[in-house]
Amino acid sequence: MTENVVRETRSGNEPGSCSGTEIRRVIRRIVRRVVDGLPLITTIGKARRARLETQHIRDKYLSMMVSCLTGTIYEDPPLKVLGQERFDATLREHGWDWPSHAHTMIGTKRLNNLRMLIEDVIRNEVPGDLIETGVWRGGACILMRAVLFAYGIKTRRVWIADSFEGLPRPNAARYPADEHDTFYTYEDLSVSMEEVKRNFEKYSLFDGQLVFLKGWFKDTLPTADMDSLAVLRLDGDMYESTMLALESLYAKVSVGGYIIIDDYHVVKGCKMAVDEFLAKSKIVPQFREIDGVGVYWQKSEVGTPRKEWPADRGS
């Protein structure tokens, strides 16, 4: 613009001289151009402000969801089954107790990790649905649906796989690692599908983007007919439940998608199943810690570019 002004100012005059009228005309032109450009600048500014505002509202909504789903917001006391009686913020943060009424037992850090990974697959357009195998009252799946809702995603589904009657008796002949497992005796771990559906309804998140896979994993997971998965979250505790989920679903995880193992550091059978599956599949993933209990990794292919590594919210 400066060059134009100089050129226009000089045109029709002796070099270095110009009349007052000429100068005023040029100034008027410059002012008009600046004013014409203003709506564009204002529009860009408004769009940026609207984007930030939307992100702020999303953050508030999803943080509130995490607080409600863990029972942190109303200091929901734990079930007595694990020996604890009073609400303890640190236990709830790490998912070390089972809440009396709240809808998940995985704690704030693992829920935030789940949110972060879903946001990452959305940002990087990693194709596929989301699934949790082992849902209890449904809280982690409710958060999955809430993240899709917050980002206006209508093309991905949330798969909700559970017996809805607790854990299976150990099948020691087939899975010796489960021989002494007693999880099946815990009545608190048995939550009906109707109750889980009602829990979704409480957050206005019960809709056609949910797929319920009711039954034992051995019967449901091998034939689950999703095309691909962007997030595979395993929380079935036992060797059998973990191994079946990996054998049935790992191949469906898209490159760039994530595998989350809820109990890797606290349930021996779960860790054994993961380690054995990876060894026999010759996969050497880069494990990332969440909260000292759960781990996750990203399915990769050599040379797969990614936009950015998500900043850890979980730990």
Ligand X SMILES: C[S@@+](CC[C@H](N)C(=O)[O-])C[C@H]1O[C@@H](n2cnc3c(N)ncnc32)[C@H](O)[C@@H]1O
Q: Which residues bind ligand X (CB under 6 A)?
A: 104-106, 132, 134-136, 139-140, 162-163, 166-168, 189, 216-217, 235-238, 240-241
Least distance from ligand X to the Cβ atom of residue 237, Å: 5
Shortest Cβ distance from residue 134 to ligand X (Å)? 3
The DSSP code sequence of 259-273 is EEETTTTT-HHHHHH
Report d(CA 193, CA 206) in Å as an integer: 12
Least distance to ligand X from the beta carbon of 181, Å?
A: 10
Closer residue to ligand X, CB minimum distance, 105 or 232: 105
Q: Do 265 and 294 meet the contact criterion of CB atoms below 8 Å apart? A: yes
Q: Which helix (H) or strand (E) holds 289?
A: strand 288-289
CB 163 → ligand X: shortest distance, Å? 4
Distances (CA, A) of 63 to 60, 146, 155, 292: 5, 11, 23, 21
How far, in whole angstroms, is CA 96 from its chain's centroid? 21
Look at the block and give the residue holding tokens 């694990």: 82
- For ligand X, which is the closer residue by CB, 76 or 162? 162
- Nearer to ligand X (CB atom), residue 61 or residue 216: 216
**Complex with ligand X: residue 230 or 243, whichever CB lies closer:** 243
Q: Which is nearer to ligand X, 23 or 172 (CB)?
A: 172
Nearer to ligand X, 135 or 230 (CB): 135
In the complex, minimum distance from the CB of residue 301 to ligand X, in angstroms, rounded to a whole number: 29
Q: Residue 229 CB, nearest distance to ligand X (Å)?
A: 16
Q: In the bound complex, which residue of the shown chain has the CB atom lying closest to ligand X?
A: 134
Q: Which residues pair with 162 in a beta bridge?
A: 214
d(CA 44, CA 264): 47
Cβ closest to ligand X, residue 241 vs residue 254: 241
Concatenating the DSSP letter of every residue in 4-73 gives HHHHHHHTTS-TT---HHHHHHHHHHHHHHHHHHHHHHHHHHHHHHHHHHHHHHHHHHHHHHHHHHHTTT
- In single-letter form, the type of residue at position 3 comes to E
Give the span between the Cα atoms of 198 and 27, in whole angstroms: 68
User: Which pair of tokens denotes residue 157?
Assistant: 């589904």
Nearer to ligand X, 104 or 209 (CB): 104
Instruction: Compute the least distance from the CB of residue 236 to ligand X, in Å.
Output: 4
To ligand X, the closest distance from the beta carbon of 165 in angstroms equals 7
Other CB atoms within a 10 A radius of the CB of residue 190 amount to 15
- Contact between 158 and 209 under an 8 Å Cβ cutoff? The reply is yes
